[in-house]
Structure formats: C-alpha cells, structure tokens
Amino acid sequence: METLIIAIAAGLGFVIAYHTYGKWLGKKVFELSSSAICPSEALEDGHDFVPTKKSVIFGHHFTSIAGTGPIVGPAIAVMWGWLPALLWVVLGSIFVGAVHDFGSLVVSLRNKGQSVGDIAGRYISPRTRFLFLLVLFLGLTVVLAIFGLVIAAVLKMYPAAIFPCLVQIPIAIGIGVLLYRKGAGILIPSIIALTLMYLSVIYGDVGILKSINVYLAGLPLIVWVVILLFYSFIASVLPVWTLLQPRDYINALQLFSVLILIVVGIVAAAFFGGAPIEGTRPELTIAAPMIDIDPADAPLIFPFLFITIACGACSGFHCLVASGTSSKQMKCENDAMFVGFGSMLTEGFLATLVILACVAGLALGIPSDSGTLLGTEAWEARYASWTTAGGLGAKVGAFVDGSANFIASIGIPHAFGIALMGVFVASFAGTTLDTACRLQRYVVQEIAATPTFKLNALTGKYMATTVAVITAFFLASIPVNGPWTLSSMGTGGLILWPMFGAINQLLAGLAFLVITAYIWRTKKPLWFILPPTLFMLCMPLWAMIMQAFFGTAAEASWLAQERWGLLFMACATIILECWIIVEAFHCIKKAPAQMSGGK
C-alpha cells in the first residue's frame, strides 16, 4: 500500500503545483498574454516555424525532453535509497526543473524563437553568446553519439521492439499528412495511431517479423549508429510537421497509455498482489532501503544524486528543446505554461513511477537460474553494488521488468509488458536523438553566422546538419578499447559520457543565468529564481571537478584515451562556465537597461 500512497501523493503534488506555482509564474512573473504574436506566426515558414495545436506541441516537447533520461537516472539513483531520489524528483521538478523549462520557453518566445545560447548574447554579452554556443555544441555532440548507442543497445536487449519502432515512422508521416495537409481533427488520427502502435507490439514479433527482428538486433553497433544518424539527418531537414511533430505526438500517446497501465497495475498489486507465481500473488512491498548514504562502489550522494537524476528533476537539455524547437511551433503564448511547466511535471511523475518500478515492481518477481526471486532478493540481484547496477542494460532492465510486473498484475501477459516497455524506452530515446540533431543544426548555423567565423557555407540546413551528424559519427566510431574493427566501433560516446551528466546540468545553470538576466531586466522579483540558479551552477561544477580529478576516471592511466578526453572536456567546460558567470555578474551589476527586444 505504501507504493500506491507514494504514487498518489506525488501525482496530486504535481497537479497542485501546476495550478498554484505554475499559474503564479505565468500570470505575475512572465505575464503571458493570449494576444501576443508568437514567432511561429510572425516568422512562419512551413519548415521550422509552424503554428501548432497545443496538444501536438505538448507531445513533441514532452517526448523530446524525456527520452531515456527519466528512466536511467532514477533507476540508478535509487542505490542511495528511494527517499532521496523521490525527494529530488518531486521537489526538483516543481521548484527547479519546471521553472527552468517554463522560463527558457518564455524567454525564447519573447526573442523571435531564438535559442538560449543566442539570447545569452542579448541579455548578458555578445561574448557570452559565443561561449554558450560552444558549450551547446560539445553537449549535443555527446548526446548524438551516445543516444545512437543507447537505442541500439535497447533494441539488442529487446528485439521485439524493433518492428514497432520502425513502423512508427510511416505512421507518423501519415498522421502529419492527415493533420496538416488534409485538415483532419486530432481525435481520429490519435485513435488510429495508438491502435496501430499496439497492434505492432502484439503482432510485430511473430513469424517472419520475429526473424527480421533477431537479424537486425544482431547488427554491429556502428551499423545501427549509422542508420540512426542517417534517420536523424532526414528528420532534421524535413519540415517539423512531416515527421518530428507527429512521431513525438504518437510517442506521447503511447506514454500516457503506458502511465495509465502502470498506475492501474500499482493499484491492483497494492490490493490484490502481483501476478500469480505458482498460484500465489506476491505482496507489493518496497524492497529497497529508504536511505543508503554509502552503497557499495558508489560515488558520494552529494553532488552526484543531482547529476545522476537530470531528466525527471532538472535537465539542461530541456532548455535546448524549449528554445530550439518548441518556441518555434507555439501559436499562443498562454500555451507556454501547459507545454513548459506541465511537461516537466509530467516527466517528474514518470520518474516517480520509474523509482517505484525499480524499488517495488522488481520485488514482485524476476527470473533467475535458481527460480523466481522475490522481495529483497530480487532487489539485491539487480542492485548488489553501483558497478552491478550502473550498466545501461541493468538500469533499463530494472525499469522494464518492474513495470512489466505492475502491468502483469492486471492480467496482461508479462511478455507483452516486456515488449511494450522495450518499445517505450527505444521510442523515447529516438525522439531525443532526432530532436537533438535538429538542435545541433541550429547551433552550427548560429556559430557559423557569428562574426568570429562568418562561414556562410555552414548556415544552410543541409551543410549544418551534415556537420552535426559527421562529428557525432566520428565520436561514436572511436573504439573504447582495442583496435578499430567493425565490432568494436560504435561505443565512442562512452568516452565522454561520464562527464556528460555534469555538462548537461551545467547547461541548466547557464540557462538559469539567462532567465535571471531576463527577469532582472523586467524588474520582477528574483527570490524564486536565484536559489535554483546557484544550485544548478554549483552542483555540476562540484561533480565535474570530482569526476575529472578525484573519481575513478582520475585513477586510470594518464595515457588512456578516456582520461585525456574527460580531462579536456572537464577543463574546457569549467573555463567556459567561469567565463560566462563572470560575464553575467558584470551584466547584473549594471543598472537594468531597456530590453532590446520582446517584453
């Protein structure tokens, strides 16, 4: 029953926060107006700037910011106990993440749909713009390199998810045509899309389709990376309404249906127990410790809890989506609270369910060589140490198995639940990948247009996207260990991945600086924005220093490529952060000037 109480309390907390704190921000701080002309209408081009229905843009925004972040982060952070992870998810989502996302979206709306990096040059200094863009380029390069690996790894773990993920593409294109070319309403296409998706899960791994799934799952990682980056290239240069928006919308529908199934499963398990095992329904209990400050092999809870859980509490990647794509598609300024604040709270609820799936869902039973493990034994089998629980497979597997156990509690076959959750994870990672590629294209275009470079050849969408894809491929192709072979290539993103968590959170801190500068210029109160700004600047810097100079990476050989890569990334990012902070402090010391654009 404790599990159910946590789920209900968290859900109610998010709803209350939306209707109180969110509305206060929208009305008193940002002063949203339905009469304001959004960039999607003022700059409409049918390609990037496209006025979009609130429900569709919510689907795009949510699935783009979520990805696998609110899954893998909480799934490993429960090593420190479920209570610290839960508190950071709930409180962080409301008072840090939602403010960050909402503010980034509004500031971009008020500045012609420009990215946060571009806006930094207006509200802080021109130098800050260039420095910010460099940080964005480094971060997005790692995202593109690693998410190709993530999706490939998930599909290899769950081959039954391959066909449903592939069939999403033609379904999405069809939905896009129905909505934007045929003028169809949103209800019927939604029902069609969701029905086709579930049918693909049910029948997508039988007969010849199963053989195809198994064959594709056996492809080398680098082949999958190439395929996924090629898909990202196509998705990035196409108009947003043809593939990006409808695919994200389909995944949003899938998300809400999955959330409903999981919640109903928690209710059933709380009152009746899990799916029968040898004729007995196991009791739903939380098998993980409430607090464990020093789990085996784990880094310090401070600051790494706040770096491990990014998406689901606060993530710098969200400011890129909010200011990079969502602001260009919103047709009414009042929708910003629903999309920005609401999406983050929804992601927080997803992260809450992930925590419950890992600490309670697993306890309902996982298979082992000695039979089905239940309760504490099931938990310890997956979370014996940080090293054991730290791999991608273990993190994703804990959530997938725990969620499938919840779903099985209401009579749905466990195998279907496993396939459904595998599709869910891979689909969300895919939405992050194609959105990140489009965002990187914008960043390359903005860097190329700066007076420092003036590379007109890279300001076009095709050349800019090519640069984005090639740099990501180069990083991904580097073998982590061993010679360059077809089987060893594809894991290069892991070289810099240990540092990405800190860089990602640093982006949130830098975005908070831009939002703070904006609010400062509008002469609104700063009491609500300063604490999360300082927190999201200090925690990533602390973690970056620990990882680069005192963590396990620092104990490796000085000649190891991982060590050199981490040191270079850490030092470059620390210098850029300190520089930007100095520029921001110098700006805030000045008297508030008349804003150069927007409200």
The region that residue 220 occupies, defined by phi over 0 for left and psi between -120 and 50 for alpha, beta otherwise, is beta
**Per-domain residue ranges for the chain?**
2-589
**2-589 fold:** Amino acid/polyamine transporter I (1.20.1740)
- Residue type at position 89: V
Most confident among 183-197, 322-336, 537-551 (mean pLDDT): 322-336
* 48, β-bridge pairs: none
286 token code pair = 């939380």
Q: Model confidence at 561, in pLDDT bands (50, 70, 90)? A: very low
For residue 594, the model assigns a pLDDT of 39
Are 580 and 126 within 8 A, CB to CB?
Answer: no
Q: What is the pLDDT of residue 113?
A: 93
- Contact predicate 150/500, CB 8 Å: no
Report the pLDDT value the prediction gives residue 564, as an integer from 0 to 100.
67
Instruction: Say if CB 101 and CB 58 are below 8 A apart.
Output: no
Q: Which pLDDT score, from 0 to 100, does residue 588 have?
A: 65
Tell me the mean pLDDT in the region 206-211: 92
Residues 570-592, mean pLDDT to the nearest whole number: 75
- Angle subtended at Cα 72 by Cα 68 and Cα 77, rounded to the nearest 5 degrees: 150
Q: What is the pLDDT of residues 69-113, one digit of tens each?
A: 788 889 999 999 999 999 999 999 999 999 999 999 999 999 999
Which of these, 321, 308, 344, 353, lies nearest to 93 by C-alpha position? 344
**Mean pLDDT score across all residues of the chain:** 87
CA distance to 56, 349, 352, 489, per residue, from 252 (Å): 9, 14, 17, 33
- For residue 281, give the DSSP letter: P
Q: Which of 66, 104, 40, 441 lies closest to 241 in space, CA to CA? A: 40
> Residue 559 contacts by C-beta under 8 Å, 6 or more apart in sequence?
none
Provide, rounded to the nearest whole percent, the portion of the chain with pLDDT above 70.
Answer: 93
Q: What is the pLDDT of residue 591?
A: 46
pLDDT band with cut points at 50, 70 and 90 for residue 391: low
Both structure tokens of 489? 């290539």
Residue 538's pLDDT band (cuts 50, 70, 90)? very high
Q: What is the mean pLDDT of residues 514-532?
A: 91
The tens digit of pLDDT for each residue in 449-503 reads 877 677 777 888 999 999 999 999 998 888 876 678 877 787 777 777 767 788 8
Banded pLDDT at 296 (limits 50, 70, 90): confident
Q: Which two tokens stand for residue 370?
A: 């000695």
Contact 91, 350 (CB under 8 A): no
| Residue 134 burial (C-beta neighbours within 10 Å; 0-12, 13-18, 19+) | middle
| Residue 573 pLDDT level (bands cut at 50, 70, 90) | confident
Quote the tokens at residue 101. 């996302």
Give Dmax (Cα) for the chain. 73
C-alpha 371/C-alpha 547 separation (Å) is: 39
**Contacts with 313 (C-beta within 8 Å, 6 or more apart), sequence order:** 88, 89, 92, 93, 96, 97, 306, 348, 351
Average pLDDT over residues 5-20: 97
C-alpha 457/C-alpha 239 separation (Å) is: 21
What is the mean pLDDT of the segment spanning 229-255? 88
pLDDT confidence of residue 555 = 40
* pLDDT, position 117: 83
Query: Which residues are paired to 367 by β-bridges?
Result: 372
pLDDT for residue 189: 84
